[in-house]
Amino acid sequence: MSEDELLDGLYPYRRDYRTYRAIPQDPVDRAELAAAVGFMAGQEDAMGDEGLVSGSLYSGDHDHYEFLGDIFSRFSHANILQRDMYPSATKFEGEIAAMVLSMLQAPEGGASVITSGGSESLISALYAYREQGRRNGITRPNIVMPVTAHVALDKGGHWMNVEVRHAPLAPDYRADVAAMAELVDDQTVALVGSAGNYPHGLIDPISEMGELAQERGLGLHVDGCLGGFLWPWLEELGYDIPPWDFRVPGVTSISADTHKFGYALKGTSTLSFRSKDLRRLQYFTKPDWPGGLYLSPGLAGSRSGGLIASTWAALLATGRSGYLSAAQEIMTAARTIRDGVEGIAGLEVIGDPYFLVAFKSQDPDLDIYLVNDSLKAAGWRLNALQSPAALHFCVTRPNTAPGVAERFVADLAAAVAYAREHRGEPADSGAMYGMGGTPQGDQTLNDLMTSVLDMMLEPAPEE
Ligand SMILES: Cc1ncc(COP(=O)(O)O)c(C=O)c1O
């Protein structure tokens, strides 16, 4: 990739709009700003609105977004840390928690917090278990999870000095619970399973993990960030969903993202605990701070009332019937995609998926990343995976529009033909993933990723 291509990818507007490097002396005209933002939003939404993107956008309904945006604006400026000023936030937050706890079949005494997203929910759970371990005299805490559990846990472990032990998968691509048991020791504070995991969308054997957790006196967090707002409806629709929620003995906490299949605006997730005592482990209070008595339920300090109000409104404006019909449409589209993949020689579906279809090549001559190159050229945006090299299509509501899944299957067949024709050529994304496997490659990739992060946080360079 040339430097110009890289810059165009990161800063596509650098030639059309002024790049600000300091606050301008005089206010910029509001109409000008609104026009610029409107243009960028229109450009960037187009691909998702057409249904060509895997995951990422969950509702796709612009009326819904507009309604939520309106609700958001009523409290966007409100800091709900100041509850005396904004008691409505207590109503919204408490009711979101109650609705989610009921959806997750929590027992009496269950308790939730609202966080900024799936990563914060996972890291907060990790923190609660680390604190619980400390109280029990654990000084070198570790957690045990399958390799497919979300990487935010690795991030949290890195920040909080909790060792993260990764267990391999069973042949069905779900967690190998026996392998997890081998990794447990007297410093283990919790197990983690996913329902479903990000790479392959599969539900780990949560019941078996629950037994292991109970046997060994450990916490068990279930990451339902992605699937938590789908499984309850799929179960109700008659799909065979293995046990994963609080009905499983041994499950002590569950994360479920309102900003994914909850169809809320971006910026909220929920973390639910089996008991209030567990939730308390992630509170922070400091009574003797010169700034006054400080108390906060989690990581965030100031929080926008707009997000809490609009998340509350998203759950209510969708309703059970809305969630059920969306879940049905998602499964229908996912089935078409799964059948389509299974019908293409050389491709193999990973595991027994539901709404997220991951697939890999079964043929050494078929490079799945070349398949991705061709799909990209046809306008699709799938997620590329590694170990094993694969792609996944996480079906969301925009993908359920008539004809989208069928069009994908046709383009996928053409992409496989393209990959066969171009066999042996380096794929655009393949080189990156190929490098990840070796210590040297890891370092080079890490350096590259670090530079990209630097660039993402800076304005476009001067021409
Ligand atoms: C299973 C799972 N857990 C956690 C996360 C992290 O969520 P977020 O991106 O909201 O931090 C994701 C994101 O896709 C996910 O799929």
State in Å: Cα 50 to ligand 1 middle: 23
DSSP-assigned beta bridge partners for residue 193? 222
304 is a domain residue: yes
| Position 5 pLDDT exceeds 90 | no
In this structure, the answer to whether residues 347 and 247 fall within a common structural domain is no
pLDDT of residue 452: 87
pLDDT of residue 440: 66
Is there a contact between 298 and 120 (Cβ–Cβ < 8 Å)? yes
In this structure, the answer to whether residues 53 and 80 fall within a common structural domain is no
Closest ligand 1 atom number to CA of residue 121 = 11
pLDDT of residue 372: 97
In this structure, the answer to whether residues 222 and 77 fall within a common structural domain is yes
225 is a domain residue: yes
pLDDT tens-digit readout, 32-52: 999 999 999 999 999 999 999
Helix (H) and strand (E) counts in the chain: 15, 13
Closest ligand 1 atom number to CA of residue 196 = 1
State in Å: Cα 117 to ligand 1 middle: 8
In this structure, the answer to whether residues 88 and 230 fall within a common structural domain is yes
DSSP-derived letter for residue 253 is: E
Is there a contact between 273 and 252 (Cβ–Cβ < 8 Å)? yes
State in Å: Cα 188 to ligand 1 middle: 23
* Last residue within a domain, chosen from 300, 315, 330: 315
pLDDT tens-digit readout, 236-265: 999 999 999 999 999 999 999 999 999 999
Q: What is the CATH number of the domain that holds 128?
A: 3.40.640.10
| Position 2 pLDDT exceeds 90 | no
327 is a domain residue: no
447 is a domain residue: yes
Closest ligand 1 atom number to CA of residue 394 = 16
In this structure, the answer to whether residues 122 and 201 fall within a common structural domain is yes
pLDDT tens-digit readout, 420-463: 999 999 998 776 776 666 666 778 888 888 988 999 999 998 88
State in Å: Cα 75 to ligand 1 middle: 26
Rounded Cα distance between 159 and 415, Å, is 41
In this structure, the answer to whether residues 348 and 449 fall within a common structural domain is yes
Closest ligand 1 atom number to CA of residue 197 = 1
Instruction: Choose among 196, 139, 137: nearest CA to 163.
Output: 139
In this structure, the answer to whether residues 310 and 201 fall within a common structural domain is yes
State in Å: Cα 29 to ligand 1 middle: 38
- From residue 61, give the alpha-carbon distance in Å to each of 48, 56, 131, 400: 11, 14, 41, 12
* H-state helical runs in 50-137: 62-75, 87-103, 118-135
- What total number of domains does the chain contain? 2
Q: Which domain holds residue 368?
A: 1-19+47-57+343-463
CA 85 to chain centre: 33
State in Å: Cα 385 to ligand 1 middle: 15
What is the average pLDDT across 134-155?
Answer: 98
132 is a domain residue: yes
Q: What is the CATH number of the domain that holds 369?
A: 3.90.1150.10
In this structure, the answer to whether residues 391 and 277 fall within a common structural domain is no
Hey, whose CA ends up nearest to atom 5 of ligand 1? 118
pLDDT tens-digit readout, 327-354: 999 999 999 999 999 999 999 999 999 9
Closest ligand 1 atom number to CA of residue 227 = 1
State in Å: Cα 256 to ligand 1 middle: 9
Closest ligand 1 atom number to CA of residue 55 = 14
Closest ligand 1 atom number to CA of residue 194 = 1
State in Å: Cα 56 to ligand 1 middle: 10
Q: In what order do the strands lie in the sheet with 390-394?
A: 347-349, 356-361, 390-394, 383-385
Contacts of 175 (CB under 8 A, 6+ apart): 145, 146, 148, 167, 169, 193, 194, 204, 205, 209
In this structure, the answer to whether residues 302 and 353 fall within a common structural domain is no
42 is a domain residue: no
H or E stretch at 406: helix 404-421
In this structure, the answer to whether residues 104 and 208 fall within a common structural domain is yes
Structure tokens at 348: 């193999």
pLDDT tens-digit readout, 175-227: 999 999 999 999 999 999 999 999 999 999 999 999 999 999 999 999 999 99
pLDDT of residue 41: 96
Hey, whose CA ends up nearest to atom 9 of ligand 1? 118
State in Å: Cα 225 to ligand 1 middle: 6
39 is a domain residue: no
Whole-number percent of the chain with pLDDT over 90 = 90
Is there a contact between 331 and 234 (Cβ–Cβ < 8 Å)? yes
State in Å: Cα 226 to ligand 1 middle: 6
| Position 161 pLDDT exceeds 80 | yes
Pocket of ligand 1 (CB under 6 A): 117-119, 122, 150, 152, 194, 197-198, 223, 225-226, 257, 269
Question: What is the average pLDDT value for the chain, to the nearest integer?
Answer: 96
In this structure, the answer to whether residues 133 and 247 fall within a common structural domain is yes
Closest ligand 1 atom number to CA of residue 224 = 1
pLDDT of residue 439: 65
Instruction: Choose among 364, 374, 360: nearest CA to 419.
Output: 374
335 is a domain residue: no
305 vs 451, higher pLDDT: 305
Hey, whose CA ends up nearest to atom 6 of ligand 1? 118
* Last residue within a domain, chosen from 275, 298, 315: 315
Rounded Cα distance between 317 and 298, Å, is 27
Testing ligand 1's pocket by substitution, the residue of 123, 150, 204, 269 carrying the most ligand atoms inside 8 A of its CB is 150
pLDDT bin (cut points 50, 70, 90) of residue 315 is very high
What is the average pLDDT across 395-402?
Answer: 98
State in Å: Cα 48 to ligand 1 middle: 19
pLDDT bin (cut points 50, 70, 90) of residue 6 is confident
Rounded Cα distance between 357 and 103, Å, is 25
pLDDT of residue 463: 80
Testing ligand 1's pocket by substitution, the residue of 147, 257, 265, 392 carrying the most ligand atoms inside 8 A of its CB is 257
* Last residue within a domain, chosen from 299, 315, 331: 315
Instruction: Choose among 49, 175, 190: nearest CA to 124.
Output: 190
pLDDT tens-digit readout, 368-380: 999 999 999 999 9
Q: What is the dihedral of CA 316, 317, 318, 322, to 10 degrees?
A: 110
Closest ligand 1 atom number to CA of residue 269 = 10
Q: Which residue has the tokens 């709404």?
A: 355
Testing ligand 1's pocket by substitution, the residue of 114, 226, 255, 393 carrying the most ligand atoms inside 8 A of its CB is 226
84 vs 327, higher pLDDT: 327
DSSP string, 128-146: HHHHHHHHTT-SS-EEEEE
Instruction: Choose among 270, 272, 311: nearest CA to 120.
Output: 270
pLDDT of residue 447: 87
In this structure, the answer to whether residues 304 and 395 fall within a common structural domain is no
- From residue 32, give the alpha-carbon distance in Å to each of 18, 37, 171: 12, 9, 57
State in Å: Cα 119 to ligand 1 middle: 6
Q: Which residue has the tokens 């589209």?
A: 333
Is there a contact between 327 and 233 (Cβ–Cβ < 8 Å)? yes
423-435 as b/e, with b when 16 or more CB fall inside 10 Å?
A: eeeebebbebbbb
Testing ligand 1's pocket by substitution, the residue of 58, 115, 116, 119 carrying the most ligand atoms inside 8 A of its CB is 119
Residue 335: CB atoms within 10 A of its CB come to 16
Hey, whose CA ends up nearest to atom 16 of ligand 1? 198
State in Å: Cα 342 to ligand 1 middle: 27
